[in-house]
Amino acid sequence: MESRKTFFLVAGLVVVAGVIVACGPAFVAPQVSNELYDIARSKWPAATRESLDKGHDLFVASCGKGGFCHKLPTPGSRVVGQWHSIILRMAPKAQLNESQSEAVLHYILAVRDLPPVN
């Protein structure tokens, strides 16, 4: 009987540890800086600071929620073409219109080109 309790205790701890490891540290979306704005303007000349701020806010609010252990995706974790597909697929679920989807996509793609933080 005691070995059975020990087994379930150990199994439970393994499951909890696995969940913690799977969740890992979350990506923290950077605020719109001059550098990020310059990157966006080089890609999309019509980009504004307001549209990037909107993209940031929507990304954090819409992409960082959604159940246990859902965290913001790291922009560098996917190539540009994948982000286009992801936004097309996820925008309806997040109830984003075309303008909002574009703002999120521009924000994500601009963040991808930020130099790494040491």
Band (17; pLDDT cuts 50, 70, 90): very low
Q: What is the pTM of this model?
A: 0.74
Return the pLDDT at 29.
Answer: 84
Q: Is residue 87's pLDDT more than 60?
A: yes
pLDDT-based confidence at residue 16 (cuts at 50, 70, 90): very low
Within 8 A by CB and 6+ apart from 29, the residues are 56, 59, 60, 64, 72, 111
Distance between CA atoms of 73 and 9, rounded to whole angstroms? 33
